[in-house]
């Protein structure tokens, strides 16, 4: 399974080489086989007899961090969407993106994102999940900002990054608390300890932190503001990230952790309210948009809110409806994004005010948009999959009155009405999208290009997705017993298999609610020009985007002010800040962990010769403050270093003594070689404040090192590793000298990195010398 997750990331390394051939063969032709192969692999798991599969690959077992991949019904649904729609998106991009584009970068970012999403939905280890989670933020940032020469693309990419990374860090806090409480990093094991979590005093904090991660990633109110700005990305990115995959990562997170929080009443309250509020606000705002992708962006937010609300309901029917709509939404919304891209590609604009009457010019695109928008609107027709899941949403909302009670009773009463209200505007923006583009008067003079139908290659991907809309609508049994029920039961074991039927009778509340939506929706659509002035009142001048911009502006201003206060160009100030921070932080940690407990047991006897050597070293160290002669200072400094070598000899550490002698001799030789270039020493008349600060830092560092040494001797937090080296150095390293074996064999990589650091430092010094010589030559 790890092969399926990491293969896109590995093969992305070869994409830049393949992109060299784009003059002859479009890079996407090579890339399309990667998601296709992954899709076919996971497709083999589908079946009514599906059983969960788990594979563990050790990574950092000492910290409980392993590639622990778990494929159950929920993750199977998501990996099929990620790889299946990924295949269609790559194929679509072959015709959408011209070979003059930077295709190498585009497909590297796309494969990176694909690998990250697969890792998110398959990881059972919370820290591996978080690693892939943040990789989705990074790769989506690169994809949204692909056309980085556009200011709006850079703005949208930064906005999505800041909001989703904020949520990701919050989620990490919740995951850390769960790990501490349950003493496991496995989600499955955490679910087994659900009673321990529910009885924890940190339960509200854990829930809030994890939901922040989910809400920001899935663009829930009020974090939805990043998604419309992300529409500056190329249309294949919008169709992939913002309809089928990335925005559903938050949905997946809530679904995955639902077994833990489902019994907590506030989980139902918070998730349901946020979901419904997102549904209502986004569907209302979608009608206001004039950009086709803007309409689809807000419609995506509203649909995500509906799915989130159903997961908040938490009942078996609601969870089944949620996973059903996850699948349906990916089909009709992915196809609609691609149709929007086709319209932009063939007319030169996405402004709906300039579009109209395109049915005669683009009949195939119009047909695809018809099925997509009517399915999104939940129009009661048997060949539209969106109606089935919308009806299931209404049904689960009505049944809450029987399933819930207590503190949430008022909410359960209001939910059906809120669901209908939000769905009315869903119907309106769906009709607004289709009829505003394909019917009405032609506006050819406003179009940058003469409209015409797209080539069949560009149409093929949305055709497949719209075919999915129709096939699922006509034959829901194909996905019901083989996929959906397994996904629903992975979230809520109480979810039961039942046939998906179009007709339940006139007395079915869900059908009545659907008819109400259609009737009122038609009236509002036909009178849209009369009531659209309401947007001048609500939201009017209010905007969450303005709040976001103000926060970023103020944060940037305060950050610049703080940074400029200490970034003065003074190396002395920088060292003072670094040393002061180290002193304070280390002393605080030592105090909190009992590091000041001094143990004088098992100390060696102090001889007179030891005191004499130490006394000479102290005198030499103090003398460096008062000496003004360069040569004398070099010699006095050497006394301190050679004194340490003598102490090593006294304490029977000849290897360390020899090493110290070599280092000290080389250091003195280097000082003498550079003697001519050393600055002249002179007595500095510094103010009392600077002298006091220097004294405090010097005494503080000296005291710190002394206390750390004493604490290291006195504390016994970990088992000693010296016995291991004594017992194994000869058998593992083949040497009698333990120190040499440790440095060369047991710490070989450490030594290699130390040598690398010295080499880099040498190159830096060489570069500085060359720069100085060049300046002197000028």
The string of pLDDT tens digits covering residues 78-137 is 999 999 999 999 999 999 998 888 899 999 999 999 999 999 999 999 999 999 999 999
- In Å, the largest CA–CA distance within the chain is 105
The pLDDT value given to residue 70: 95
**How many whole angstroms separate alpha carbon 475 and alpha carbon 383?**
9
**How many whole angstroms separate alpha carbon 115 and alpha carbon 590?**
42
pLDDT digits (tens, 9 = 90+) for 292-349: 999 999 999 999 999 999 999 999 999 999 999 999 999 999 999 999 999 999 999 9
**How many whole angstroms separate alpha carbon 589 and alpha carbon 701?**
15
Torsion angle of the four alpha carbons 279, 336, 90, 96, in this order, in degrees rounded to the nearest 10 = -130
The pLDDT value given to residue 719: 76
* pLDDT confidence band for 496 (50 / 70 / 90): confident
In three-state secondary structure terms, 492 is coil
pLDDT digits (tens, 9 = 90+) for 533-578: 999 888 888 888 999 999 999 999 999 999 998 888 888 889 999 9
**How many whole angstroms separate alpha carbon 134 and alpha carbon 112?**
12
SS3 per residue for 377-445: HCCCCCCCHHHHHHHHHHHHHHCHHHHCCHHHHHHHHHHHHHHHHHHHHHHHHHHHHHHHHHCCCCCHH
**How many whole angstroms separate alpha carbon 343 and alpha carbon 345?**
5
Q: pTM of the entire structure?
A: 0.84
Phi, psi of 439 (to 5 degrees): -120, 180
Cis peptide before 539 (omega within 30 of 0): yes
SS3 per residue for 112-142: HHHHHHHHHHHECEHHHHHHHHHHHHHHHHH
The pLDDT value given to residue 406: 61
* pLDDT confidence band for 777 (50 / 70 / 90): low
The pLDDT value given to residue 85: 95
**How many whole angstroms separate alpha carbon 547 and alpha carbon 524?**
31
pLDDT digits (tens, 9 = 90+) for 167-195: 999 999 999 999 999 999 999 999 999 99
**How many whole angstroms separate alpha carbon 480 and alpha carbon 320?**
10
**How many whole angstroms separate alpha carbon 730 and alpha carbon 736?**
6
* pLDDT confidence band for 198 (50 / 70 / 90): very high
Tokens of 247: 């925005």
pLDDT digits (tens, 9 = 90+) for 713-736: 777 777 777 888 888 888 887 888
pLDDT at 605 over 90: no
pLDDT at 774 over 80: no
Q: CA nearest 339: which of 422, 243, 445?
A: 243
The pLDDT value given to residue 772: 72
Contact assessment for residue 26 and residue 98, using Cβ atoms and an 8 Å cutoff: no
The pLDDT value given to residue 520: 96
Higher pLDDT, 298 or 741: 298
């Amino acid at each position: 399974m790890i092969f399926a997750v990491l293969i896109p990331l590995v093969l992305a390394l070869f994409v830049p080489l393949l992109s060299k051939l784009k003059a002859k063969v479009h890079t996407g032709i090579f890339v399309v086989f990667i998601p296709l192969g992954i899709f076919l692999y996971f497709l083999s798991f589908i079946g009514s007899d599906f059983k969960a599969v788990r594979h563990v690959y050790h990574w950092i077992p000492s910290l409980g961090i392993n590639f622990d991949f778990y494929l159950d019904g929920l993750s199977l649904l998501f990996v099929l969407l990620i790889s299946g729609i990924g295949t269609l998106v790559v194929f679509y991009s072959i015709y959408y993106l011209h070979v003059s584009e930077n295709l190498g970068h585009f497909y590297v970012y796309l494969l990176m994102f694909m690998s990250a999403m697969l890792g998110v939905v398959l990881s059972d280890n919370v820290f591996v999940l978080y690693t892939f989670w943040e990789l989705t933020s990074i790769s989506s940032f690169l994809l949204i900002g692909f056309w980085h020469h556009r200011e709006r693309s850079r703005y949208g990419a930064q906005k999505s990054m800041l909001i989703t990374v904020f949520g990701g860090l919050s989620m990490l806090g919740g995951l850390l608390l769960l790990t501490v409480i349950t003493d496991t990093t496995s989600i499955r094991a955490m679910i087994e300890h659900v009673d321990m979590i529910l009885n924890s005093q940190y339960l509200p904090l854990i829930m809030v932190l994890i939901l922040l991660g989910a809400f920001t990633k899935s663009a829930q109110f009020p974090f939805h503001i990043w998604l419309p700005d992300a529409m500056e990305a190329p249309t294949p990115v919008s169709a992939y990230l913002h309809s089928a995959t990335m925005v559903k990562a938050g949905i997946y997170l809530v679904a995955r952790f639902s077994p833990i929080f489902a019994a907590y009443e506030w989980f139902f309250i918070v998730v349901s309210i946020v979901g419904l509020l997102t549904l209502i606000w986004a569907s209302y705002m979608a009608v206001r948009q004039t950009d086709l992708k803007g309409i689809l962006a807000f419609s995506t937010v509203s649909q995500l809110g509906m799915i989130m609300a159903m997961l908040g309901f938490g009942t078996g029917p609601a969870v089944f409806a949620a996973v059903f709509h996850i699948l349906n939404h990916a089909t009709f919304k992915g196809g609609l994004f691609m149709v929007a891209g086709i319209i932009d590609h063939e007319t030169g604009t996405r402004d709906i005010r300039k579009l109209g009457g395109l049915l005669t010019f683009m009949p195939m695109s119009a047909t695809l948009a018809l099925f997509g928008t009517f399915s999104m609107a939940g129009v009661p027709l048997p060949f539209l999959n969106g109606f089935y899941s919308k009806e299931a949403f209404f049904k689960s909302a009505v049944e809450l009155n029987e399933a819930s009670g207590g503190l949430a009773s008022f909410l359960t009463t209001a939910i059906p009405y809120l669901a209908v209200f939000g769905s009315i505007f869903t119907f309106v923006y769906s009709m607004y999208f289709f009829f505003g583009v394909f019917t009405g008067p032609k506006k050819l003079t406003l179009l940058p290009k003469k409209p015409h139908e797209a080539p069949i290659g560009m149409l093929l991907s949305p055709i497949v997705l719209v075919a999915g809309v129709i096939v699922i609508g006509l034959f829901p049994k194909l996905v019901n017993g083989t996929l959906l029920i397994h996904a629903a039961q992975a979230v809520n074991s109480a979810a039961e298999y039942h046939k998906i039927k179009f007709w339940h009778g006139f007395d079915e509340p869900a059908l009545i609610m659907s008819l109400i939506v259609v009737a009122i929706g038609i009236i509002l659509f036909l009178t849209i020009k009369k009531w659209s002035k309401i947007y001048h009142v609500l939201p009017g001048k209010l905007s969450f985007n303005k709040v976001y911009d103000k926060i970023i502006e103020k944060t940037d201003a305060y950050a610049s002010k703080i940074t400029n206060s200490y970034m003065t160009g003074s190396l002395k100030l920088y060292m003072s800040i670094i040393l002061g921070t180290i002193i304070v932080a280390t002393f605080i940690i030592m105090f909190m962990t009992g590091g000041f407990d001094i143990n004088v047991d098992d100390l060696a006897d102090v001889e007179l010769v030891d005191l004499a050597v130490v006394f000479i070293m102290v005198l030499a160290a103090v003398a460096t403050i008062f000496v003004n002669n360069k040569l004398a200072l070099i010699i006095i400094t050497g006394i301190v270093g050679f004194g340490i070598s003598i102490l090593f000899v006294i304490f029977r550490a000849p290897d360390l003594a020899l090493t110290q002698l070599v280092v000290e001799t080389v250091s003195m030789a280097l000082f003498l070689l550079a003697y001519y270039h050393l600055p002249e020493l002179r007595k500095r008349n510094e103010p009392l404040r600077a002298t006091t600060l220097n004294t405090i830092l010097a005494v503080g560092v000296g005291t710190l090192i002394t206390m750390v040494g004493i604490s290291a001797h006195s504390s016994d937090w970990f088992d000693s590793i010296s016995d291991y080296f004594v017992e194994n150095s000869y058998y593992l390293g083949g040497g009698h000298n333990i120190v040499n074996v440790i440095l060369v064999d047991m710490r070989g990589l450490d030594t290699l990195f130390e040598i690398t650091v010295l080499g880099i430092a040498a190159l830096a010094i060489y570069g500085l010398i060359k720069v100085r010589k060049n300046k002197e030559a000028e």
